Structure 1
Amino acid sequence: MPLTNDWSSRDQRKLIHLSPDTLGVFARYVQDSDEAPESGGLLLGTVHGEHLIIEQATAPTVWDLRLRTFFHRSAIGHAKLALDRWRASRGTVRYLGEWHTHPEDYPIPSGLDRSEWRRLAAGRRDKRPQLSIIVGRHGLHVELVHSDGNGVYFQPYQ
């Protein structure tokens, strides 16, 4: 699946760059067979005004619950990695959001996805919107979700 590194809001005032390592993690967990379970993890990176650079996506751990159409991320493993990256970068690389897969070509957020994104955004200490990415077989759904549930949809940057 070819994935795009650069994404923009429709008005092109907000940009997101996904590192090659991040895209590599996504590609490893695409649900490209009938048996492949959903996967997911954290998105870690840096903030540059309205723009984000996603440097790393954590991979699923043995503590996560992975079913065909359901993923639950355990805090074990992911949280330690995020804290280690934050400390090593002296607070510049931080938790920016979450990603997971869907067994569809071009993923569409479910009602459960939207309610979870709203809950995560409302709980953010930094009051920033929550970056949420769904990885499909042929494309991504990229969205910044605010605590009120409203989101800013991103498209591949041309």
Structure 2
Amino acid sequence: MNSWATTDRRALLHFSESTLETFCRYVQVSDTDCEAGGLLLGSVHGVHMIIEQATTPTTWDKRFRYLFERMPFGHETIALARWTASHGIVRYLGEWHTHPEDDPHPSDLDISEWRRLSAKRRDGRPMLAVIVGRKSLYAELVPNLGRGPVFAPVE
């Protein structure tokens, strides 16, 4: 599903086809597949977001069955290039990674890392966090304190 919304329908989220294709390429289907992840790049329209690109794992990233650690090399270069080329329209919106489960949910480590990353944002906006499972996605708008609204597919 490309379009998602918070339960109160106040915030909308749209994933481009290329973003969803990136997610699909890294779903942990077999028992030996490692977690993958990257940045979410796109544009902001009030409280709404369009995710135009998901960066893919680099050779520097640490990938294990139950852990993904994104290294800045590669991802930040792509984000800066997209921001510059778009005159500040396409920007960093958040992070994505996979989990080896059908319907993913964030771990305590995910939640603490998301809060840390959200607190570092220069624009003060909450960070979008997406977990790609085998059958569904988990998407949350994470403020630097507490939990944020969770998105669900719009049918």
> How high is the TM-score relative to the length of structure 1?
0.97
Q: 1:101 aligned to 2:107?
A: no
The one of 68, 72, 87 equivalent to 1:71 is 68
Q: Could you tell me whether the CA contact under 8 Å between 1:43 and 1:58 is conserved in 2? A: yes
Structure 1 spans left out of the alignment, 5+ residues? none
Residue 53 of structure 1 corresponds to: 50
SS class of match (1:47) = strand
Report the residue type matching 2:112 in the other structure. Answer: S
Residue 29 of structure 1 corresponds to: 26
Q: Deviations over 1:62-87 (max 9, x none)?
A: 00000000000010000000000000
Q: Deviations over 1:47-99 (max 9, x none)?
A: 00010000000000000000000000010000000000000000000000000
1:62-141 to 2 correspondence within 5 Å?
Answer: 62-141=59-138
SS class of match (2:73) = helix
Separation in 2 of the partners of 1:149 and 1:6?
25
Separation in 1 of the partners of 2:76 and 2:97?
16
Aligned residues: CA RMSD: 0.5
Structure 2 spans left out of the alignment, 5+ residues? none
SS class of match (1:75) = coil
Separation in 1 of the partners of 2:103 and 2:57?
21
Residue 41 of structure 1 corresponds to: 38
Q: Could you tell me whether the CA contact under 8 Å between 1:117 and 1:149 is conserved in 2? A: no
Residue 150 of structure 1 corresponds to: 147
Q: Deviations over 1:14-70 (max 9, x none)?
A: 000000000000000000000100000000000000100000000000000000000
Separation in 1 of the partners of 2:96 and 2:146?
17
Separation in 1 of the partners of 2:31 and 2:146?
32
Residue 13 of structure 2 corresponds to: 16
Question: Deviation above 2 Å: which 4+ runs of structure 1?
Answer: none
Deviation at 1:121? 0.8
> What's the % identity of the aligned pairs?
60
Separation in 1 of the partners of 2:105 and 2:88?
33
Q: How many residues align?
A: 155
Q: Could you tell me whether the CA contact under 8 Å between 1:71 and 1:100 is conserved in 2? A: yes
SS class of match (1:76) = coil
